Each structure stands twice: as C-alpha cells, then as structure tokens.
Chain A
C-alpha cells in the first residue's frame, strides 16, 4: 500500500530564515505530487505540483519554491520566510482520475 511521509511535523522559524520541508511517498511510481497550504479555518490552497522528476508547476507566485529531485521526493523551500508563510503545509500524491492522498502535514509558525 502507498504511504506518504512529511517532516518535520512542527516547525517554528524566525522571519528571514530559510525553510526546507520534505515529503516522500512509498508504494507507488511516478506519482503526481502536490504542495498545499492551509491557513487556520480555511480551505486548501495549491502551491505547487509536479508530474515528474525536475518538473514543477507553480500555482501561486510567492517566496516559496519546490523541487523534485527524485521520483518520490518533493521538497518545499524558501530562502527568507515571511510572517505570512505561517500555516499548515500538506503534501499529497495522486494519479489523475483517482484522487489525491495527503500526508500528515507540517505546522509552520514564523515568528
């Protein structure tokens, strides 16, 4: 069966510091991978998605970036965090037409 991992689970970072969140998927090959952000009490905002190694599509222009160095690894990064980057970050994997499956999430607080 497929599993998806995210780490860290929680993170507190000062404004202006860098960020690296990692997501890995097991039990599937060549999945579509997604990064979402969820603000408190709000819905899910798609940030990036990838259909293959090295392929990244950005949905929202901002100071975040994503990379996919391996088939089942997806990384979310920032060079300098802003207060507005605080939120719950979710990684998901999926196949077109059969839905998306989410990881446990990372709670990021920028102070």
Chain B
C-alpha cells in the first residue's frame, strides 16, 4: 500500500549548523503534509505544514520544502540548537481523516 518513509533514521549535527531531515512519500494523491517534533516521553508537537499547491513554507527557524515531482519532503532547521534534539516525523494525507506517519528521524545536536 501507500506509505511514508524517511531516508535517514538518525542525524547528528553540531550546534549552530543547519539540519536537513528528509522524507519520501508514495501516495501521489497526498495534498497536505506536516512535520512533527517529538521529545522523549512527550506527545508529538506540530511544527509546520504545507499544502500540495506550495513548494516552500517558512516558519521560525524552520523551512519545509515539497517536491511533488519526486514525492519528497524536507525539513530544514537553521542554526540548530540543543533543544532541537528530538525525533522528527513527517505525515501526509490525501485529504481524509487519517494521517500517514513516517517512522521518524532522530536528530542529535552536539555541542
């Protein structure tokens, strides 16, 4: 069936560097995408979303890029901080009630 997956299960970056977390999706009907951040022992936190009629969306220190041609989604975090250490999930939906989640990428920020 259709699925959402992540290219890298773990990512280690130095504090102050930029981070890029990637996600591939297979459902060409998906029209809404979300990035979540989950810290240990907590529920996922909504970071940023993007709709299929956009290629790029920026938030505070975060940017999401959507390439519908290759079904690829990425999350860029500028000037990564220790507090950014967490697991990041992408999620997609073709417009229904449920989101399809990737398994997550663990981001570790080192001093």
* A-to-B contact residues, CB < 8 Å: 6, 32, 34, 42-44, 46, 49, 51, 57, 59, 90, 92, 96-105, 107
Contact = CB atoms under 8 A, between A and B. Distances in A.
A59 B99 CA distance: 12
Interface in B57-111: 89, 91, 95-99, 101-104
Contact of A99 (B34, B42, B95, B96): B34
A111 B101 CA distance: 29
A102 B44 contact: yes
B1 interface: no
Contacts of B96: 96
* A-B CB proximity, top 4 nearest: A102-B43, A43-B103, A44-B101, A105-B43
A105 B101 contact: no
B104 A43 contact: yes
Contact of B97 (A51, A102, A103): A51
Contacts, number: 50
Interface of A is mostly: strand
A102 B45 contact: yes
Interface residues of B, number: 21
A97 B32 contact: yes
A92 B91 CA distance: 14
A59 B98 contact: yes
Given A6-B43, A100-B99, 10 more contacts: A32-B97, A43-B103, A46-B98, A49-B98, A51-B97, A99-B46, A100-B46, A102-B36, A102-B45, A103-B43
B89 A43 contact: yes
Nearest to B44: A102
Contacts of A57: 97
B103 A104 contact: no
Given A96-B97, A97-B95, A105 B102 contact: no
Interface in B7-45: 32, 34, 36, 41-45
Given A96-B96, A97-B32, A43 B101 contact: yes
Contacts of A99: 32, 34, 46, 49, 99
